[in-house]
Amino acid sequence: MDFLFLSKTLLFRGTSPREIETMLGCLHAEQKGYKKSDVIYHAGDRVTSLGMVLSGGVSIESDDFWGNKNILDHVGPGQVFAETYACVPGEALMVNVVASEPTNILFLDTSHLIQICSNACEHHSKLIGNLLLISAQKNLNLSRRIFHTSSKSIRGRLLSYLSDQAIRKGSRDFTIPFNRQQLADYLSVDRSALSNELSKMNREGLISVDRNHFLLLEMAETF
Amino acid sequence: MDFLFLSKTLLFRGTSPREIETMLGCLHAEQKGYKKSDVIYHAGDRVTSLGMVLSGGVSIESDDFWGNKNILDHVGPGQVFAETYACVPGEALMVNVVASEPTNILFLDTSHLIQICSNACEHHSKLIGNLLLISAQKNLNLSRRIFHTSSKSIRGRLLSYLSDQAIRKGSRDFTIPFNRQQLADYLSVDRSALSNELSKMNREGLISVDRNHFLLLEMAETF
DNA sequence: ACATATGCGTTGTTATAACAACAGAAATGG
DNA sequence: CCATTTCTGTTGTTATAACAACGCATATGT
């Protein structure tokens, strides 16, 4: 087990490799390997362990009633998944967690962290604090997405998302981390309709767009 | 200050009124009163204190570019707001927090909880654990909403929401906590279009609906 | 360099949701 | 109890997004 690697993750931030070694015992740490497309957690499962990706990567997917797959998120090395469900025992997963490549996962049972007095092991409290930070940040990401998809028009969603990016990057001139399909998925709209709306906004002089690079123009007064 | 009241809240669960009294010092607790429509936190603010509603109630609202108000949530006595922002210092609020009636708020500065070693006060760890639970639950609520609004048709959103409710309530026969307008807001659709779709589904024998009481019929195979 | 696969924009058609307006039912408040 | 307000379903019209199909440009990989 690579304790040095773990000590650099957000979850174990502020703990030494030596401390981690003792903690892994409390957390009933178990490592497991998966092949590509293996399902790590199924929708409907109830879990008490979060997963940390040691190597490889996993996709968080949701299958709707008609069998359409929808990729909600991708989790890479050092990041965790299912931590929310692990913290709220009894909640059934709404998503599938699937290995997107050969992947090693470290499972950490959080029920001991939370239910038993958190002073049982003096490092527990640091871990819980880190979990809280991870949870709060995920919270903000979810809120942001709801915010950006609350408008009923594609243009409204784009303006919401793009101006947020501009504020966040501190410039009207920025690059987004999505391609068209991903942006369309994020905003829950059709890709071609999105492309169409973007070029319309381009023609109208609202924005200047090239691939995933944007420049906001007239909307300046909004701020 | 009503310590007994506080000890019954989710945030202070598991602590005695006596303990709370000492903790409030660490948290720089401050109480403040507001009149109806007073703005407690403005969008754009950066905060380090969460708010707990002692009496009255607050609305979490978002104003979009064109000045449309959108009520995202309502927080009542014993519940907290802005805890996510308080836990992730430096993030600007995306929403306004507005008193929906005469309201008393208790502000608790979480920066001490998180940044300083959490063992500074032995009760801190319990509070952080409670915060983690609150955060994780809010997380699930947000995820659920994203999930239910990811379908592009009104019917798809309704089926997603209604079957989730059925599973959650453990019966095909259940009552929802929304009226039509609130359900429409939750699913980000137009109210009259929602009404329309519901009666269509009713006519088709998919569901049986009366006000906010529902009975799921043919969709049984989905489970 | 070639063949293949992705990503992107464009167009036209179709389905569907938003919107506006209204009437009846239900709840609310004197 | 009546008056008033809120809630709900219905309809028709209009705007708009989804969808399907295509061509071009840009990777990708061998």
DSSP H or E stretch at residue B53: strand B49-55
Cα–Cα dist B78/B72, whole Å: 18
Examine the pLDDT at B221 and tell me if it is beyond 70.
no
Q: What is the pLDDT of residues B169-186, one digit of tens each?
A: 999 999 999 999 999 999
CA angle B137, B141, B146 (to 5 degrees): 145
Contact A136 B87 (CB under 8 A): yes
Q: Is the CB of B197 under 7 A from strand C?
A: yes
Distance from residue A172's CA to nucleotide D25's C1', rounded to whole Å: 27
Q: Measuring from the CA of residue A157 to each C1', which nucleotide is nearest? A: D17
Q: What is the pLDDT of residues B9-18, one digit of tens each?
A: 999 998 999 9
Distance from residue B101's CA to nucleotide C27's C1', rounded to whole Å: 22
Residue given tokens 């709370």 in the structure block: B20
Examine the pLDDT at B222 and tell me if it is beyond 50.
no
Contact B143 A142 (CB under 8 A): yes
Examine the pLDDT at A121 and tell me if it is beyond 70.
no
Q: What is the mean pLDDT of residues A118-136?
A: 82
Query: Within 10 A of B133 (CB to CB), how many other CB atoms are there?
Result: 18
- Could you tell me if B153 lies within 8 Å of chain A, comparing CB atoms? no
C-alpha A164 chain-centroid distance: 18
Q: pLDDT at position B100, please?
A: 85
B119: chain A residues, CB-CB within 8 Å = 122, 125
Residues 6+ apart with CB under 8 A from B168: none
Q: What is the pLDDT of residues B73-104, one digit of tens each?
A: 889 999 999 999 999 989 999 999 988 888 99
Q: What is the pLDDT of residues B99-140, one digit of tens each?
A: 888 899 999 999 888 776 555 566 788 899 999 999 999 999
Query: Within 10 A of B98 (CB to CB), how many other CB atoms are there?
Result: 21
Contact status, residue A138 vs residue B143, Cβ threshold 8 Å: no
Query: Choosing among B88, B93, B134, B143, which should be mutated to test the A contact, i.e. which has the most A CBs within 10 A?
Result: B143
Query: Choosing among B127, B139, B145, B221, which should be mutated to test the A contact, i.e. which has the most A CBs within 10 A?
Result: B139
**Range name among A119-128, A141-150, B142-151 with the lowest pLDDT average:** A119-128
- The mean of the pLDDT values for chain B is 89
Chain A residues 66-95 with CB within 8 Å of chain B? 70, 72, 83-85, 87-88, 91-92, 94
**Range name among A105-114, B84-93, B213-222 with the lowest pLDDT average:** B213-222
- Region of A37 please: left (phi>0), alpha (psi -120 to 50) or beta: left
Query: How confident is residue B193, by pLDDT bands cut at 50, 70 and 90?
Result: very high
Q: What is the mean pLDDT of residues A184-197?
A: 97
3-state secondary structure at position A29? coil
Q: pLDDT at position A37, please?
A: 83
Examine the pLDDT at A54 and tell me if it is beyond 90.
yes
Of residues A87 and B118, the one with the higher pLDDT is A87
Q: pLDDT at position A220, please?
A: 43
Query: Choosing among B64, B71, B126, B135, which should be mutated to test the A contact, i.e. which has the most A CBs within 10 A?
Result: B135
Contact status, residue A87 vs residue B182, Cβ threshold 8 Å: no
- Nucleic strand D contacts from chain A, 153-182, CB < 7 Å: 153-155
Q: What is the dihedral of CA A131, A133, A139, A140, to 10 degrees?
A: -160
Nearest residue (CA) to C1' of C11 = A196
Distance from residue A196's CA to nucleotide D20's C1', rounded to whole Å: 15
Examine the pLDDT at A222 and tell me if it is beyond 70.
no
Q: pLDDT at position A118, please?
A: 53
- Could you tell me if B141 lies within 8 Å of chain A, comparing CB atoms? no
A114: chain B residues, CB-CB within 8 Å = 129, 132-133
Of B83, B94, B160, which has the smallest distance from its Cβ to A147's Cβ? B94
Q: What is the pLDDT of residues A24-48, one digit of tens each?
A: 998 999 999 998 888 999 999 999 9
Q: What percent of chain B has pLDDT over 70?
A: 91
Contact status, residue B83 vs residue B131, Cβ threshold 8 Å: yes
A10: chain B residues, CB-CB within 8 Å = none
Contact B142 A142 (CB under 8 A): yes
Query: How confident is residue A208, by pLDDT bands cut at 50, 70 and 90?
Result: very high
- Find, among A221, A216, A209, A217, the residue nearest to A183 by Cα: A209
Query: How confident is residue B187, by pLDDT bands cut at 50, 70 and 90?
Result: very high
Cα–Cα dist A46/B15, whole Å: 28
- Could you tell me if A150 lies within 8 Å of chain B, comparing CB atoms? yes
Of residues A12 and B2, the one with the higher pLDDT is A12
**Range name among A120-124, A155-159, A164-168, A171-175 with the lowest pLDDT average:** A120-124
Residue given tokens 């108000």 in the structure block: B69
